[in-house]
């Protein structure tokens, strides 16, 4: 069993979740890994297919490995939403802990077939697979989809026949900011763990309340994705009034500021999701 699968299953059993944070570069990876070390909790560092396409799997893996070694933290590397077979295979071969084949936009038969074929290769290399059924709406690092709510049959079939290790469920959730969460189909999400018998993955985490995060964890979520919150923190850094003056004197200061921004976002979510096992309001 890949180590990341064991970590996810233990999180579900303990009533907590592992924060999975999208890192746009090395600065973010170091900040996220430092936060995991500070909190004494595991963390999943995620990369987009677009980032891998731009820099190559070996380069990105070297960034991750350096961040992990510098901080001596429990970190896992994950490829977020991807259908590109070349990128998926490159990440598997390079040593990612988990990759996500997002076949949620495909007919369920195609989603199952391609997930299963990739799972055989991944598992032979000690790599886990995340699948998705019922598309998560919005745009995320070049990946776009319309919101779709997963059906009971599709949840069961992808989990069983796709040979995946964890499953993302579309239940009205979106990437980016929510105008409202009143439309979320919690009835679908809260039934999914019993159907799939796999750790659930919550996409579209930014903008949910602490109570909604807790509700997801109580439903069997082992992994919660955070991306938009880090993008907002990065944006605050680059629009800082004094930044141009600072960079003229010390260009490397930007890296420290971005690392600090990633640390703060990561520490908040790692600590929050890890604390749910101690909550009594079940």
Active site residues: 80
Direct distance between the N- and C-terminal alpha carbons of the chain, in angstroms, rounded to an integer: 30
Q: What are phi and psi of 138, to 5 degrees?
A: 90, -170
Chain-centroid distance, C-alpha 24: 13
Residue 14, judged by CB atoms within 10 A of its CB (0-12, 13-18, 19+), counts as: middle
10 contacts: CB under 8 Å, gap ≥ 6:
none
127 burial class (0-12, 13-18, 19+ CB within 10 angstroms)? buried
- Nearest by Cα to 261 from 282, 232, 239, 241: 232
Choose among 280, 224, 236, 276: nearest CA to 260: 236
């Amino acid at each position: 069993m890949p180590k990341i699968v064991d970590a996810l299953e233990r999180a579900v059993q303990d009533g907590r979740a592992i924060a999975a944070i999208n890192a746009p570069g090395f600065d973010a990876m170091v900040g996220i890994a430092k936060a995991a070390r500070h909190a004494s909790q595991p963390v999943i560092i995620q990369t987009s297919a677009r980032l891998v396409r731009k820099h190559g799997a070996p380069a990105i893996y070297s960034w991750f490995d350096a961040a992990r070694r510098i901080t001596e933290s429990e970190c896992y590397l994950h490829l977020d939403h991807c259908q590109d077979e070349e990128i998926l295979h490159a990440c598997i071969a390079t040593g990612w802990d988990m990759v996500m084949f997002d076949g949620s936009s495909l007919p369920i038969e195609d989603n199952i077939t391609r997930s299963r074929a990739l799972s055989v290769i991944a598992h032979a290399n000690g790599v886990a697979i995340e699948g998705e059924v019922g598309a998560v709406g919005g745009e995320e690092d070049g990946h776009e989809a319309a919101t779709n709510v997963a059906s009971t049959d599709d949840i069961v079939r992808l989990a069983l026949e796709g040979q995946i290790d964890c499953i993302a469920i579309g239940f009205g959730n979106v990437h980016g900011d929510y105008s409202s969460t009143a439309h979320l189909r919690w009835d679908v999400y809260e039934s999914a763990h019993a159907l799939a018998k796999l750790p659930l993955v919550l996409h579209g985490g930014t903008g949910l309340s602490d109570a909604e995060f807790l509700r997801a964890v109580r439903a069997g979520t082992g992994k919660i994705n955070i991306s938009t919150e880090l993008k907002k923190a990065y944006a605050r850094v680059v629009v800082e009034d004094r930044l141009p003056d600072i960079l003229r004197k010390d260009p490397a200061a930007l890296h420290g500021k971005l690392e600090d921004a990633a640390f703060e976002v990561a520490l908040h979510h790692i600590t929050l999701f890890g604390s749910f096992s101690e909550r009594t309001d079940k």
